[in-house]
Amino acid sequence: MLDPQLLRSDIDTVARRLAARSFVFDVAAFQAIEGERKTVQSRTQELQTTAAARLARAKGQDVEREIPW
């Protein structure tokens, strides 16, 4: 099994080691998918922050004080 962190941090070495085992790893495709993942993750975090702030306001709480991030 491949470590996702290793793929993100040292993709060239991973691709080279896989090639030594006769496996062609499509680096460009992985990087495109990784870019999409980062975009989705950022958007998800934005939405979670917005939702938490709205819920806090709906409860009448001080948003800056109650939400630690």
Q: Supply the pLDDT for residue 60.
A: 81
Residue with tokens 């922050």: 49
Confidence of residue 13 (pLDDT cuts 50, 70, 90): very high
SS3 2: coil
pTM summary value? 0.70
Q: Supply the pLDDT for residue 12.
A: 94
Q: Are 45 and 30 in contact (CB under 8 A)?
A: no
Q: Supply the pLDDT for residue 69.
A: 55
Query: What is the tens place of the pLDDT at every residue in 21-68?
Result: 999 999 999 999 999 999 999 999 999 999 988 988 888 876 565 555
